[in-house]
Structure 1
Amino acid sequence: MISACHLYPDLLNLYGDRGNVIAFQKRCQWRNIPVQVINKSLGENMDFNKYDFVFLGGGSDREQNLIAADLMKRRDQFKEAVENGLVVLAICGGYQLLGRYYLTGDGRRIPGLDILDLYTRAGDTRLVGNAVIEMVQDGRRVKVVGFENHSGQTTLGKIKPLGKVLYGKGNNGRDGLEGARYKNVFCSYLHGPLLPKNARLTDYLIRLALRRRDVDLELKPLDDIFEERARAALLGRLGLKAN
């Protein structure tokens, strides 16, 4: 059984990001892959070594500050699980929390979990709109679609991006990069939510979660005709070819 943990679902659910967990769960269930989703919030016990997939979404500044303080108490265990192959999807504010720090507009430096080599600073304008990136999944280049809406501008250190921006602004509107990737940690500013819009990415995360259980399973194909049509329609509107 895959053990999936949704962190702080009561506090981090901007732009329907809960849909990422639903998509992951449903695409497992449609293949008769047993999956259990565990919700964890402030003050609750968490054992990251027991999970195969963790989702961390975005929220307001107040909520992120509460969560940062709560997660900081579990930081060492979280980092250990990441180093041991835990699959993590972190969106927007959750992405920022995994970095070294967040620099506010008035110059305050808010510490992050320092699990990933990156930092974020408050920007003067919001980066908003449809976005497309090209990322590598199991050795294949795949276009991933989503919607970005953030004012934080993230700069990567010695860490790979999730992908290259084909359309939109990405991490900071300057370097042409979007998100971050470290081992089985996937970070992105793409909402939408991300996984329902990108079935192949969802399946990639499922395969990685299974491998964490030492299960190398060929996933049964699903009928994704509507998902692929929607994705192709968006790419076409943006002047990009589907792949």
Structure 2
Amino acid sequence: MRKKTYAMRYVAGQPAKRILPPSALAGTSSLTLAPGEPLYGEKTLRILVWNIFKQQRADWLSVLQNFGKGAHLMLLQEAQTTPELVHFATTHYLAADQVPAIVLPQHPSGVMTLSAAQPIYCCPLREREPILRLSKSALVTVYPLPDGRMLMVVNIHAVNFSLGVDVYSKQLDPIGDQIAHHQGPVIMAGDFNAWSRPRINALYRFAREMTLREVRFTDDHRKRAFGRPLDFVFYRGLSVREASVLVTSASDHNPLLVEFSPGKPA
């Protein structure tokens, strides 16, 4: 029997709230919640993307505080809901949404999106690893932008151990359904575990079908396996201003920082 998929929302001063997947796809016409404050009020949208390795190593908090300073969104993978991370999230962000993938004895682990604005749409997703029988999670959220558009954000930790790419592509399919029904800009980022040629081909094919562009890093210090990067940022309806990778021992992955401007790419 498959476990229920849900997200947990953490907001300062409020009890944690469980959010179930919506019944409708996330086109802007299907959003029923009234838009709140925009995600940012400046000309730049900053996001940090990082597999945080369940906070098992020292200095992970200082990386979030320093390298991620001023980020409007933090897309974390393998985020364990320890008191330290929940306190950081609720102190610095209006909302933190986590999709538990692995329920550990003390604190569940999964993708977590920290946002400077309340999401007006939240869709948790999970996919089970076919070999280890453990789950990986993904989260789709939508935020209002200052120009009136709605930004869809996909935070994903892709399945790692599988024979072939069937399960890998299966995890991307419901994400594709979400993106296809969304009219505004999109950011899709996370740990894609694209360590083989068939996996990277499947990922790039998906990005092309969704008309997503890949963020390029000049000094590319992303974590690699078999010579291929594991962490990616894709986007549409925005322009990239800056993109950098921090080399750190605070995780087995290096965090990515990307600054977008709201205009469409040339």
TM-score range, shorter chain: 0.3 to 0.5
TM-score under structure 1 length normalisation: 0.35
TM-score under structure 2 length normalisation: 0.32
Q: Which has the higher helix share?
A: 1
